[in-house]
A and B are shown apart, each in its own frame.
Chain A
Amino acid sequence: MATQPLVELRDVHLSYGRTEVLHGIDIDVPAGQITGLLGPSGHGKTTLVNLIVGALVATSGAITVLGETAPPRKVKPSIGYMPQSDALYDDLTATQNLRFFGSLYGMSRKDMDQAIPTTLETVCLQEEMGRKTVGAFSGGMKRRLSLAIALLHSPRLLVLDEPTVGLDPVHRVRLWTAFRRLAAAGSTLLITTHVMDEAVNCDDLVMIHEGRVIAQGSPAQLIATAGTATLEEAFLDYEARAEAEVHARGETPGDGPAVTGMASAPGTTSTTSPTSTTSPTSRKTKKGKHHA
């Protein structure tokens, strides 16, 4: 890769109280691509995303977002974030919601007049400009408006947490087409999902299991390395290996309390460039923060 990754995570740990939920994460999000965070619900995808956008602060480790050390401050206007919950003001109209967040991102009235129609078109909501408040919207419409808010200020980095959950297949396909178009235009997208059909559309995939990265690479590479027919089977294969590795170390998977500091619990990561041909299975166990 010639260009610097837009987001870099190095040996990131996060604990809630005494429970550690992320056990040493290393991820690179290359510029101008769609990177998917793939993994079961409750295994740390949303937490990871919150760390990147600055809604949470890591317990230890280094996170760099658009060249700034997290939590981001100066680069905040260059990030678009769509949280997992819709996070809309139900008692405002779609346009009022968009204008409110737009002005927080420093957009002028003129910018917004131009950006709102095109953004609503991107998320197939252009007919919803009227007086109807968001409370009267369907679940899918809210989801798409939430996405529109993330897109409105044309950010360089888009962080989308489960953007297509609750959408019908037609809109799902349309949105993925839009994501591909945004990536082609130079935006970088980081998308979490637990749907394998969608994950195949990503340029690069990071598989998350129990707060650890179990594999990173393009979908094709991951399938080839696992020697399976589908991505789903590949994921199950990596998951099984990760479990085996955890058991081999004599730990119960997923428990956190005892492992603060993690010096004795190596993160299992592939830190190779995602487009390289290095097999994700050639993971080395690493100690501490030797990346720093």
Chain B
Amino acid sequence: MRNTFAQAKRIWQQFSHDPRTVVMFIVAPILVLWLFSAMLSTTPGEPRLALVGVPGPVATALDGVAEVTTPALADAESQLASRDIEAIVSMSGTTLTVEVEGTNAGTTARTLAAIQSGLKDMASTQASTMPALDVTYLHGSSSWTGFDYLGPVFIGIFIFVFVFITAGMSLVTERTGGTMERLLVTPIKAWQLVAGYCLGFGVVTIIQAGIVLWASITLIGFPNEGNIAMVILTTFSMAMVSMTLGLLVSGLARTAFQVIQLMILLVVPQILLSGIFDLTNAPTWMKVLSVCFPISHGADALRAVMLRGQGFADIGVNLGILWCFIIAFFALACLSFRSRRTR
């Protein structure tokens, strides 16, 4: 335990002498997440709608949330085809029919969200019944994903990648700098060495995750329906998976270059199958692979908490799987150090 703590303390001291890394640790993920959110949400502020035969109150309500025109149906259809407007809204009975262009999932989601929020406002302020919504697609289908759906996944992914690089480089630096050889000669045991790294980086990671999450939610505007403590717990669990995997990779790699190569091999496929892309219609092997990857479980849990406001009961299984990965990677990392040859 003493050795583990000495190791952790050394890591903290190293951080304290390296303010640039500390700043990078906090600022870089926030900056990237901000860019990501800006990229997906700055595009045209309000959707452009063509209203065809829409009654007054509904038209007024939609005017509040969108850029509204009232062309003839034929004109509206040609505008939609040439993507000059996002949707045609028409009313038949109590049903509001929305025809969207549908090729860009993000645009579709934003348009429908705007219409719905407009109708909701109308229903609440004018005490009138909310018309039913019937959505048709010019192109594409209803299997869209939006920014809200991706946000939590990206938070998880960025933390994962940052922690992986930090952990992966740390031991390689010891190896190339010769301090690894010296450590192996001291009475410290492999598990104490790995545990020391986990403790040292773990504390740093909790602080990092806390600050990044706070900034993402309050400053950038990522959605969060759930308990912030649950979000931090999930993010931290993902970070620990990443750290133990990074330490394992670092134990196997001989150079920093190999760490990057292994990262591309081990982390990029996980990112691709983590839920950024819809796997509903993917082949079975791909779905199986996705379930075998820790990032998928972390992303699932983050979505459950941040989007649906679910608690421990709903994400317990995901978290359990993550911690199984942590234990397995930790054990493997210890084994990779037991091999005593330092060359």
Number of A interface residues in the complex (CB < 8 A): 32
Smallest CB-CB separation from A56: which chain B residue?
A: B341
- Is A88 positioned at the interface, with any CB of B under 8 Å from its CB? yes
Known contacts A89-B14, A92-B10, A92-B13; is A55 also within 8 Å of B184 by CB?
yes
When distances are taken between beta carbons in the complex, the residues of chain A under 8 Å from B343 are 16, 56
Closest to A47 in B: B343
A76 engages B181 (CB within 8 Å): no
B94 at the A interface (CB under 8 A): no
* Chain A-chain B contacts (Cβ-Cβ < 8 Å), number: 76
In angstroms, how far is the closest chain B Cβ from the Cβ of A105?
6
| A50 to B179 Cα, complex, angstroms | 14
- Kindly specify which of B43-51, B98-106, B144-152, B185-193 makes contact with the partner chain: B185-193
Residue of A87, A96, A105 ringed by the most chain B CB atoms within 10 A: A87
B residues whose Cβ falls under 8 Å from a Cβ of A: 2-3, 6, 9-10, 13-14, 17-18, 177-179, 181-188, 340-343
Tell me the nearest residue of chain A to B14, going by C-beta. A91
A-chain residues with CB within 8 Å of residue B182 when the two chains form the complex: 81, 83, 87, 101, 149
User: Which residues of chain A in 59-107 are interfacial with respect to chain B, using CB atoms and an 8 Å cutoff?
Assistant: 71, 76-77, 79, 81, 83-93, 96, 100-101, 103-106
Verify A87–B181 contact, CB threshold 8 A.
yes
* A53 within 8 A of partner (CB): yes
A140 at the interface (CB under 8 A from B): no
Residues from chain A with Cβ under 8 Å of B2 in the complex? 103, 106
Contact A56 B340 (CB under 8 A): yes
CA A149 to CA B182, docked complex, whole Å: 10
Which chain A residues border B340 with CB–CB below 8 Å?
54-57, 71
Q: Which 5 A-B pairs have the closest CB atoms?
A: A85-B178, A87-B178, A103-B6, A87-B182, A104-B186
**Any B CB within 8 A of the CB of A133:** yes
The reply to whether B10 and A96 form a contact with Cβ atoms under 8 Å apart is yes
Contacts of B18 in A (CB 8 A): 91
Residues of A within 8 A of B188 (CB): 104
CB–CB A81/B185 < 8 A:
yes
